[in-house]
Chain A
Amino acid sequence: MRKGVKTTITYIAWYLILIFFFILCVEPVVWMVFGSFKDRAEFYANIWGPPKVYHFENYVKAWNNAGLGRKILNSIFVTFFALLISIPVNSCAAYVLARMRFKYAKLIYFYLLTGIMIPSGIMAIPTFSVALRINLVNSLFGLVLIFAAQSIAMGMFIMRSFFISLPKGLEEAALIDGCTRFKCFTHIILPLTKPGIMTQVIFSGLTIWNEYLLSSIMIRSENLQTIPLGLASFVGKYTVNYPELFAALVIVTVPVIIIYILAQKSFIEGLSAGAIKG
């Protein structure tokens, strides 16, 4: 009986904490959506409440003014391919650095690791001049390569720590069966590090999706602009068109949230079915 009371109290405490965080995190979304339907007068006069009149045209205007269609495609392109290059590349390196002994392994590891200590944003000008020399300025492909390179260090570190946590016996059996090292890596080890890959997709993906400074220097023509550059068009010298900016933000944020909801099932829950045993 006493134990039952104790559990109930714990549950209530848990729910209170959860509800607190729920409000803290969902309220901004609600506010953003409300704001995106207001006109400018109401945005200032009625800051926190729901809109009195819903201005759906904000969305149409936002879409057209920022040229969102094109920019969303560009952003998807850049993010997807940067990850598509970076994740396999850093996983390969991380795997051998975690599981094999070879000359210079430590050196290579620390060399790549220094990358997480370089603030990529403020390296914008030097990066630009390097990109200029190899003709990658004003091309989405250039952005893809640079972003891929920038996420190698962090990705390698994340993947390596996941590889290290896997038991050693895992690939030994397969190696004895005549499996090549590489096949063993792609077929046995890699599937077990799904959370590592997802961590990268979330972390590096969001970083690339929101990157502004470097893109603003690298991209020199309008049809190659990415979403963050498009959002700048709501900001005038003295005023910001918040209702339209919020409408644009809803358009670009909601898909990211939906992707997360879809992905979290396979990412978090699919894991417990995995064969990781200590």
Chain B
Amino acid sequence: MAGKKVLAVVLLVVISSVLFFPGCSKSKEEKPLVRILGPTKGTAEETEAWAKVMRDFEAETGIRVEARWQGNWPDLPQNLSAAKMAKEQVDLIVAGAGTLRSSLVRSGAIMNITELMKDLVDRFNEGMLDAFIIDGKLWGFPYADASASVFYYNKTLFDELGIKPPKNYQEFLKISKIIKEKKGIQPVIFQGKENWAWPMLFFETYEQTSGNTSVAKVEEFLSGKRRFSTEIEKEAFLLVKKLFDDGIFTLDSLDTDSEGMRAVFSQQKAAMFYGGTWEYGAVKDVVKDFEIGVFEFPLMVNTPGVKPGHGFGVGDYGIAIPSFAKEENLENTMRFVEYLLRPEVVNTILSINDPMVQVIKGMQVADTPIVQTLNNEVLKNSVLFLDWIWPAEVNDAFCRCIPAVVSGNMTPGEAVKIVEESLKTIEEEKDYKFDWWTSWTEEDWAKVTPKRVPDIKRYMK
């Protein structure tokens, strides 16, 4: 019966430690407190960098900062909702521009920080706040690298085969044939098992078929001024399918998740893959045997004057203030925001993920060939990620329809109908309005606008 005794002792230890430990942490002195809510950081380094910044800030100002990193990215809205219901103190949240734009801002959960940030906007480079501006007002700010979509390729293999990154679709087709014939591997691998990844391909083709007006066309569609079932939309679906029909992408991609995509590429079972710039950090760590390069999605249409345009956005990770944050604490909160935007602090936190684009002034950016290609070639042909514009339901319709079209289970005509219907459904069920701001009442605005704007200029160095 020794087992039972051991069990009893273990339980006793567990119970006593669970009951007594939390008591200790509560006995801190009463200092002003700023609380952040956000998803868990992916790496220990990043968690530690935030902790260090918070400690330094407390030492300088006497304001304590407490962060609650909990759950994954998709959990944030429900976590915030629970915090609001529980009347918790939350002064800052970490959320992407996509989440803010598609749901949080329109539901009145986010504070309009245009006035609060007026002395801090010049800390950002030109155009970097765009994704956070809706109806001319600022609702958050990016605290991360910019991101875009590109092709990555195995440079060592390309050199060996004597081929170069393609400049147009014909070249793309040609090098794909060479790779298949000479190496017997698939040219491109794609993370098709991740539903969210599919719209990225559509952004590329739609930007081209729409003659570089995809953002405007989507906005017209969402505000009811345009059908989504015209030839250019169907053509955009068809072009994605063409990539597969021509053998540049293969149907293997449909069963490949994002980790699988990296594995296939790093095992040299595919010569290229298509993904976001955020892949770079992960891929360069796992690829040891060859050199990596990037090139932009090539032009697939022959319409004169049309150039390629890639999904792009600054604000995968952003910071915002919830509308239920306490007004009297705004001064402390804004002091911390000011501190976060100082170049040395920016670099402490953001340099961990090797940023490629200088979002905040003074941010250190790596100077590798890949980063140069990105900045000089890819980013100049960029348009806002369309999934930061259209709502989650419409996005899901794309996520489901594109692979179905690609695998021949659906025609482009059916796909555009489903997309149109998804919008009609939420217009009926949720009163969805693309330009929600036009129907907000004075009262709605009062809830998200701070009454008193603290002066933080005197704290700035």
Contact = CB atoms under 8 A, between A and B. Distances in A.
Contact of A61 (B15, B17, B41, B44): B44
B72 A44 contact: no
Given A233-B69, A262-B3, A41 B22 contact: no
B85 A129 contact: yes
A77 B14 contact: yes
Interface in A214-234: 216-217, 219-225, 229, 232-234
A171 B25 CA distance: 53
A140 interface: yes
Interface stretch (B54-62, B73-81, B337-345): B73-81
B287 A233 contact: no
Chain B CB within 10 A, most for which of A40, A216, A234, A236: A236
Nearest to A69: B17
A240 B262 CA distance: 12
Contacts of B459: none
A73 B125 CA distance: 47
A232 B40 CA distance: 7
Contacts of A129: 85
Contacts of B73: 237
B434 interface: no
Interface string B34-50: 00000111111001000
A76 B18 CA distance: 10
A235 interface: yes
Interface residues of B, number: 50
B259 interface: yes
A223 B22 CA distance: 7
Chain A CB within 10 A, most for which of B18, B88, B279, B282: B18
A129 B84 CA distance: 11
Chain B CB within 10 A, most for which of A44, A128, A138, A234: A44
Contacts of A170: none
Interface of B: 3, 10-11, 14-15, 17-18, 21-22, 25, 39-44, 47, 68-73, 75, 78-79, 81-83, 85-86, 88, 96, 258-259, 262-263, 266-267, 276, 278-279, 281-282, 285-288, 316-317
Interface of A: 40-41, 43-45, 47, 61, 64-65, 70, 73-74, 76-77, 80, 124-125, 128-129, 132, 137-138, 140, 216-217, 219-225, 229, 232-242, 262
Given A220-B86, A239-B281, 13 more contacts: A40-B285, A41-B266, A45-B267, A61-B44, A76-B10, A76-B14, A222-B69, A232-B70, A232-B71, A232-B72, A236-B41, A238-B282, A262-B3
